[in-house]
C-alpha cells in the first residue's frame, strides 16, 4: 500500500458518516456502517482504555465497570456528532473521548451499568488486570500508559493475524519457529534451531525469518491503517508507536 494512496478504513468509515450528518437513506446507511466499524474498533482496542482508567486511579472492579459503561455509551449514543474532520487517528479520538467520559462520571459520582439493546463487548476484568500489570510502572502518566498499551495491542493483533494467515496456508510451523525474530517482545531462537525445526539449512532459515519480518511489517501497517483516516500518514504513526515502545 503506497503512502498517500486512497484507503477505506474502519476509522475513515466512521469519519465519513460523522461528516454526512443525519437524515436521508444514504445518511442512515453511512451511520449503520459506521456503527458496525466503531463496534469492531472498540472491541479490538478496549485494553488501552482499561489501562488508562486504571492508571487514572480507579480500582480494578470500578475500572472494569467504567470501561464497560464507556464503550456502551460510545456505541449507543451519537458520539459521531463529535467526530471532526482532520482528527486522523482513532487513537487520539478515543483518548479524548474517554477523558470526557471520566470527567462526567466523576461529576455523576458513579457510572451505572448498562444493558438493554446495547451490543455487549468482551470485557474480562481478570484479563484486563493481567494486561494492566504488564504496562511499565516507571511513573508513566495515564496518557503514556494508554499509548503504550495501544502500541502493544496493535503489535499483538498483527502477530495474531499473521499467525492465522500462515496457518491457513500451511506455514504455521514457520511462524512458530521464527516469530521471536519479529521484534515484538519475543524470545528469538538461534537460526540453527530454526533450521533444525523446519528441516532446512541455516541459510534457508535466515531467508524464512527475513520474509516473515517483511510480511509482519506489512500486516502491522495494515492494522495501523485501519485506525487512521484515509489521508493520514501510516509511516508517521509507525514511528510514533515505535518511539512509545522504546520508551
pTM of the full structure: 0.82
Beta bridge partners of 89: 228
In a domain, 1, yes or no: no
In a domain, 198, yes or no: yes
In a domain, 40, yes or no: yes
Name the nearest CA neighbour of 227 among 135, 154, 123, 149.
154
Going residue by residue through the chain, which has 247 residues, state the pLDDT in tens, using 9 for 90 and above: 444 444 578 888 877 766 655 443 455 666 677 778 888 888 888 899 999 999 999 999 999 999 988 888 887 765 666 666 566 788 988 898 899 899 888 766 544 554 444 455 554 445 788 888 888 877 679 999 999 999 999 999 999 999 999 999 999 999 999 999 987 666 899 999 999 999 999 999 999 999 999 999 999 999 999 999 877 889 999 999 999 988 7
The whole-angstrom distance between residue 178's C-alpha and the CA centroid of its chain comes to 24
C-alpha cell at 139: 511513573
Residue range of the domain that includes 128:
10-246
The whole-angstrom distance between residue 205's C-alpha and the CA centroid of its chain comes to 31
In a domain, 152, yes or no: yes
Based on the structure, what is the number of domains in the chain?
1
In a domain, 2, yes or no: no
In a domain, 193, yes or no: yes
For 153, the 3-state DSSP assignment is helix
In a domain, 140, yes or no: yes
In a domain, 161, yes or no: yes
Amino acid at each position: 500500500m503506497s503512502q498517500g494512496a486512497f484507503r477505506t478504513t474502519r476509522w475513515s468509515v466512521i469519519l465519513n458518516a460523522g461528516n454526512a450528518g443525519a437524515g436521508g437513506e444514504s445518511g442512515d446507511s453511512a451511520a449503520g456502517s459506521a456503527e458496525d466499524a466503531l463496534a469492531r474498533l472498540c472491541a479490538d482496542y478496549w485494553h488501552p482504555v482499561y489501562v488508562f482508567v486504571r492508571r487514572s486511579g480507579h480500582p480494578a472492579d470500578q475500572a472494569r465497570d467504567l470501561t464497560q459503561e464507556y464503550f456502551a455509551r460510545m456505541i449507543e449514543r451519537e458520539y459521531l456528532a463529535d467526530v471532526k474532520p482532520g482528527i486522523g487517528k482513532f487513537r487520539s479520538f478515543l483518548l479524548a473521548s474517554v477523558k470526557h467520559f471520566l470527567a462526567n462520571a466523576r461529576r455523576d459520582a458513579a457510572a451505572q451499568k448498562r444493558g438493554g439493546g446495547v451490543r455487549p463487548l468482551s470485557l474480562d476484568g481478570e484479563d484486563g488486570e493481567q494486561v494492566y500489570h504488564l504496562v511499565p510502572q516507571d511513573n508513566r502518566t495515564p496518557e503514556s500508559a494508554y499509548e503504550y498499551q495501544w502500541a502493544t495491542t496493535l503489535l499483538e493483533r498483527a502477530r495474531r493475524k499473521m499467525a492465522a494467515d500462515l496457518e491457513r496456508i500451511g506455514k504455521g510451523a514457520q511462524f512458530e519457529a521464527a516469530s521471536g525474530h519479529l521484534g515484538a517482545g519475543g524470545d528469538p531462537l538461534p537460526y540453527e534451531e530454526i533450521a533444525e525445526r523446519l528441516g532446512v539449512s541455516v541459510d534457508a532459515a535466515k531467508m524464512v525469518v527475513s520474509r516473515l519480518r517483511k510480511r509482519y511489517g506489512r500486516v502491522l501497517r495494515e492494522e495501523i491503517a485501519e485506525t487512521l483516516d484515509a489521508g493520514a500518514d501510516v509511516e508517521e504513526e509507525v514511528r510514533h508507536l515505535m518511539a512509545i515502545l522504546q520508551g
